[in-house]
Amino acid sequence: MPAADPTIISQWQRRDRAVLWHPCTQMKDHETLPPVPLRRGRGVWLEDFGGRRYLDAISSWWVNLFGHAHPRINAAIQDQLQQLEHVLLAGFTHAPAIELAERLTALAPPGLTRCFYADSGSAAVEIALKMSFHYWRNRGRPQKCRFICLDNGYHGETLGALAVGGVPLYRETYAPLLMPVLVAPSPDCHHRAPGESWQEYSRRRVEPMAALLAEHAESVCAVIVEPLVQCAGHMRMYHPVYLSLLRELCNRHHVHLIADEIAVGFGRTGTLFACEQAEIAPDFLCLGKGLTGGYLPLSAVLTTEEIYQAFYDDYTTLKAFLHSHSYTGNPLACRAALTTLDIFEEEPVIERNRGLAEVMRYALAPLADHPHVAEVRQCGMIAAVEMVRDKATRQPYPWQERRGRRVYQYALERGALLRPLGDVVYFMPPYVITPEEIRFLAGVAAEGIDIATRE
């Protein structure tokens, strides 16, 4: 371990600037705020080369579940490394891939009996879209070739995933490259009328979706949604009743339902999977991010026996799903995922999170009265604070003012990694966070919001 030395920081920053191109970043921003070179992580804390610590309030982009450098996951990966680091999953198989598929299908909503692996969330979404289309084609209905998605949804950055996404910031630039889709309004309860309940509003928002399905079901393969929380779309939330009614609609119109639980899966919303709160099973369940506890890139698409059977035939019928990624079902990643599931099984994670979620609720409640906060909302272990210029009319700040970035900057100075989405400050912490650390974060967020909303 090198000694703490601030000059090392600027050395790494200089070398970084010479060669790296960072994700989701205007690189010119690094002229004023260079990236923080980290040397290690432990639990919820990240540590830089100067010895400064940052509380990872957003689980390193929503992937980390049980903290950095978790002893059990570290040990499992090291053990797997001695056995088999990687092998192709076509023509060959291995225990970690088989065991993980067994356990995921057992934990998932009923009927999801088949597991197809990939290496990123976006790839999982592409697979679900292709499989749905291909299912209908194999069943003699090739005219079903369109998707319905939600406004403000997010499903990844590859072209298919981007096409079914509805966040303009990521989508608009590439619009000419994207396949056409049908877009239904979001059930996002931020827009409910004064006095209206979440349930009433989300129920009301089913109507336009019902109309789209009634008109276009003949040409539609699937509806894709993020259950309960549109995470990248500013942590907007809705009531489970929307999912229950959507499941019924999809059944009635013979259209698949794709649940993208890449961000909300593995306990984020208060249940292991968000779909549980609506007591529904989708036709495709996309998993990623927290699947490996935040260690390695792995994703999975779970689907039904009915869909699997539509591809199962003699090779010469050319019905097979000939899709692959080089690192499909990587053994190291599967072992990390298996250990993550062990932790869920052996520790009362979901129950403990209920307590932590209450601490978050209580710690953030005072911000609801802030003159520049429109709303404090929460769904399980995801809590969000929406800053606005005008509290009464909910008029947002001009995006060019980048108020959220001021919170980001302030939080870093205070030792917290908060990375607001636009003007929405949110917590989505690893589940090993303590009540005291949550209160620390809430303090940083409150002061950051004060500073960012000062004229």
Handedness of CA 21, 25, 31, 34 (dihedral sign): negative
Question: Considering the complex, what minimum distance in angstroms separates the CB of residue 166 from ligand PLP?
Answer: 12
CB closer to ligand PLP out of 263 and 379: 263
Question: Considering the complex, what minimum distance in angstroms separates the CB of residue 232 from ligand PLP?
Answer: 5
CB closer to ligand PLP out of 260 and 375: 260
Long-range pairs for 304-312: beta carbons < 8 A, 24 or more residues apart: 304/111, 304/112, 304/113, 304/114, 305/111, 305/113, 305/114, 307/114, 307/131, 307/135, 307/256, 307/283, 308/113, 308/114, 310/135, 310/138, 310/139, 311/134, 311/135, 311/138
The tokens of 269 are what?
Answer: 């919303």
Site for ligand PLP in 284-313 (CB under 6 A): 288-289
| Residue 165 near residue 217 (C-beta atoms within 8 A) | no
Q: Which residues of 220-236 are buried (b: 16+ CB within 10 A; e: fewer)?
A: bbbbbbbbbbbbbbbbb
Question: Considering the complex, what minimum distance in angstroms separates the CB of residue 289 from ligand PLP?
Answer: 6
Site for ligand PLP in 263-282 (CB under 6 A): 263
Helix (H) or strand (E) holding 258, with range, is: strand 256-260
* Interface stretch with ligand PLP, choices 151-159, 324-332, 357-365, 430-438 (CB under 6 A): 151-159
Question: Considering the complex, what minimum distance in angstroms separates the CB of residue 45 from ligand PLP?
Answer: 23
> Total number of residues binding ligand PLP (CB under 6 A)?
15
- Using the rule CB under 6 A, which residue among 48, 260, 283, 423 binds ligand PLP? 260
CA-based diameter of the chain, in Å?
69
| Residue 94 near residue 331 (C-beta atoms within 8 A) | yes
* DSSP SS3 for 263: coil
* Interface stretch with ligand PLP, choices 74-82, 183-191, 225-233, 239-247 (CB under 6 A): 225-233
- Using the rule CB under 6 A, which residue among 222, 225, 231, 275 binds ligand PLP? 231
CB closer to ligand PLP out of 156 and 380: 156
Residues 6+ apart with CB under 8 A from 232: 154, 167, 170, 263, 421
* DSSP SS3 for 270: coil
The Cα 177–Cα 184 span in angstroms is 21
The Cα 75–Cα 91 span in angstroms is 29
* Interface stretch with ligand PLP, choices 119-127, 143-151, 337-345, 372-380 (CB under 6 A): 119-127
Question: Considering the complex, what minimum distance in angstroms separates the CB of residue 170 from ligand PLP?
Answer: 11
Q: How many helices (H) and strands (E) does the chain have?
A: 15, 16
- Using the rule CB under 6 A, which residue among 121, 166, 294, 429 binds ligand PLP? 121
| Residue 293 near residue 308 (C-beta atoms within 8 A) | no
Question: Considering the complex, what minimum distance in angstroms separates the CB of residue 23 from ligand PLP?
Answer: 9
Question: Considering the complex, what minimum distance in angstroms separates the CB of residue 31 from ligand PLP?
Answer: 26
Question: Considering the complex, what minimum distance in angstroms separates the CB of residue 8 from ligand PLP?
Answer: 30
Instruction: Count the neighbouring beta carbons within 10 Å of the beta carbon of residue 203.
Output: 16
Question: Considering the complex, what minimum distance in angstroms separates the CB of residue 211 from ligand PLP?
Answer: 25
Between the alpha carbon of residue 25 and those of residues 20, 156, 265, the distances in Å are 11, 16, 26
- Using the rule CB under 6 A, which residue among 105, 122, 292, 340 binds ligand PLP? 122
- Using the rule CB under 6 A, which residue among 43, 96, 156, 331 binds ligand PLP? 156
* Interface stretch with ligand PLP, choices 81-89, 224-232, 271-279, 368-376 (CB under 6 A): 224-232
CB closer to ligand PLP out of 108 and 373: 108
CB closer to ligand PLP out of 262 and 363: 262
| Residue 229 near residue 189 (C-beta atoms within 8 A) | no
Question: Considering the complex, what minimum distance in angstroms separates the CB of residue 160 from ligand PLP?
Answer: 11
Q: Which residues of 331-365 are buried (b: 16+ CB within 10 A; e: fewer)?
A: bbbbbbbbbbbebbeeeebbeebeebbebbeebbe
CB closer to ligand PLP out of 152 and 453: 152
Does 259 contact ligand PLP by CB under 6 A? no
Does 160 contact ligand PLP by CB under 6 A? no
- Using the rule CB under 6 A, which residue among 108, 125, 278, 425 binds ligand PLP? 125
The binding site for ligand PLP (CB under 6 A) comprises: 120-122, 125, 154-156, 226, 231-232, 260, 262-263, 288-289
